[in-house]
Structure 1
Amino acid sequence: MAQAAPSPHRRVTKNLLVVVLCLLVGGAAAFALREPSAPEPPPMEPVDAGVPTGGPAVPTQAPKVPKEGPKVPIREVRTARLDGAFVDPRMPRRMPPGPTFRPKNPAVWCEGLSVERCGSHREDCEVGVYCDGVRFCRSRPEFPSEESCAAEGILGANVACCSGLVARCGVPTRGHEACDPQKGDASEPVCLRCGDGVCGPFEQACNCPEDCATSEARPKRRFQGPWPRDVPPEDVAPKGTTTPGQCLDTQASPEGIQRCLESWSEGLFGLRDSEALQHVEDLKPFTPFDVDLLRCLERGSSYAARRSEISREGCIEALYLRTRDSRLDKLRWFSSSYGRSR
């Protein structure tokens, strides 16, 4: 008896089961035979053919900034200070207050009085003078000074400058290209020790040219900042330093070293940049190396211009090649962004 042929529905179901079984077996075999891919080889460092043999290698790629690196303690850098607070060493000040309190008299408005009438109210008013010589009336301070003369650096005093001092005006314009005589405004003269051959902390070329102005005939001058020479006041010099040369040892970043050197320059000479230091007659305790390092740190960090001395990196590299000072190793190719990350 002939066997009945399977129905078309059963044949389709059987074929589907066979296909599913093959897929499962093939997938399992492929998973078992699969091997992990080999790691990619590390990128080869390109060779810079432009570096002479025996010289320091110049990187051709920007330095990588580590996400987490060792924490280098940054020492605190203190700038020039007077009386415990930050001041510009060339900023004049008013007369010091006296011990006796003077109550205000609202019935007298000194600022509205003429100079002639100002003298009739000496308990409340005093006469001042502007840089252009015009006299004016103003109220006396609540604690009037008892000084009989105005000391060096006193601004707009109502008494004469002390012996050996002169009242002067004048400040450099923005960019230091010219001088502003400070006439026609509310500026007042400052008592200065002009004529002693030293450019003091309150003096500059515009108000004391005989001491501070340089020329081709006399390119160098004696400068004096707010610190006594070689003996900075306690807790004023950058922490951990007794000379400017120690800034490179105690600071961890280019910015820290620059601030440290500027603090010493400002405290000793009243100057803040390497160009101005070129005019100092006696640089001690600064050394030519300290000034050259400050000049390099003043330049902008540029990886693109790293071969040129116009950049911080190129200038420091040239300084290293000239001096072979191993302390510069931490600054070579040390970008400002990398320094801040540490």
Structure 2
Amino acid sequence: MHALVLLLCPLLLLATACAAREPDPADRPRPGADNPCAPGGTPRPPRKHVVATTVTPDGQIVDWIPIESQTPDGKIATPPAGPTAPEGASPPPPASPDGAAPARSPDAATVQLGPRGPAGTVPVLRPRRLQCDCLPGYVQQADGSCAALASHCSGEGGMASSKSFTTCCPGLTPIASMERVDGACVTTAPDAHLCARCGDGACGAGENDCNCPGDCGGARP
């Protein structure tokens, strides 16, 4: 009996020590570890009203959603009547059995989107990368992630464009990028804006009488 007690005591002491041992810091969950968009955003919720999902021949995922979900009130405008076919013209292709769309050859129906969704639905491509909803102070990047605005913004005299996922730094105003050519103001970057301090009374970098006349002496005669 004494031998059994002596044998069990070390085991009990070892179990107690293991239970009381502090967990290894490497084993603790890190803040935001379960949020791939942290710290600047949260994962965008899945698209609603998906009734079917298909895959294109190149592996792109397509979600099929009801047409009505694309409008706020769920009402779809009636398309205008098409032109009258000239006499002797070939009749339009017959409708498919469910009445969803004109029947087409199998090759024509699968060359782009692959399998079709149910009647009354429209295709929406699902982004290949995770999309994030950015928090205040962060901006969306081309890969869908969120970057701190202070470190990913265009300074005074720089260009910003939604196409390049760039924006003006805080305190700067986006104005048109313009120059005077042969006496006329011409836009030099239709798809972008110039980041400036237009309105502070000083004709700063990138400002001129075309895009900031209040700071640069007003328009020329």
Same fold (TM over 0.5): no
Q: Which of the two has greater helix per residue? A: 1
Output the TM-score relative to the length of structure 1.
0.20
Q: Which of the two has greater strand per residue? A: 2
Output the TM-score relative to the length of structure 2.
0.29
Greater C-alpha radius of gyration: 1
